[in-house]
Amino acid sequence: MLQLIALFQKQGWSLTFASAASDSEFMFDVTTLGIDKVAINLNDSKFDIFVKDLNPTMVLFDRFMVEEQFGWRVAEQCPDALRILDTEDLHCLRLARQKAFQQKKTFQLDAIFSDVAKREIASILRCDLSLIISEFEMDLLQKHFKIDKNLLYYLPFLVDEIDKTTVENWLSFEDRKDFIFIGNMLHEPNWNTVQYLKESVWPLIRKQLPEASMLIYGAYPSQKVLQLHQPKDRFLILGRAEKAADVVEKAHVVLAPIRFGAGAKGKLLEAMQCGTPSVTTTIGAESMSGDLPWNGIIADDVEGIANAAVALYRNESLWKNAQQNGIAIVNQRYEKSLFASDFIERILEIFTNLKAHRNNNFIGSLLMHHTMASTQYMSRWIEEKNKK
Look at residue 57 and give its three-state secondary structure.
coil
Domain ranges of the chain: 2-155+339-387, 164-335
Specify the pLDDT at position 253.
98
Specify the pLDDT at position 376.
66
The C-alpha torsion from 105 through 107 and 188 to 295, rounded to 10°, is 120
Q: Are 333 and 156 in contact (CB under 8 A)?
A: yes
Calpha distance 350→195 (Å, rounded): 45
Closest to 135 (Cα-Cα) out of 296, 325, 333, 329: 333
pLDDT digits (tens, 9 = 90+) for 71-81: 999 999 999 99
Q: For the structural domain made of 2-155+339-387, what CATH number should be given?
A: 3.40.50
Specify the pLDDT at position 246.
96
By residue count, the chain amounts to 388
204: part of which helix (H) or strand (E)?
helix 202-208
C-alpha distances (whole Å) from 355 to each of 81, 82, 125, 180 are 11, 10, 15, 50
Residues 6+ apart with CB under 8 A from 326: 271, 272, 273, 275, 276, 277, 278, 295, 296
Specify the pLDDT at position 132.
98
- Cα 126 from chain centroid (whole Å): 22
Ranges in the chain, pLDDT < 70: 371-381, 388
Fold of 164-335: Rossmann fold (3.40.50)
Specify the pLDDT at position 25.
77
Closest to 52 (Cα-Cα) out of 15, 34, 78: 78
Q: To 10 degrees, what angle do helices 362-387 and 115-126 make?
A: 110
In single-letter form, the type of residue at position 44 comes to D
Specify the pLDDT at position 23.
83
Specify the pLDDT at position 172.
97
Specify the pLDDT at position 369.
76
Which phi-psi region, left, alpha or beta, contains residue 83 (left: φ > 0; alpha: ψ -120 to 50)?
beta
Decide whether 2-155+339-387 matches 164-335 in CATH topology: yes
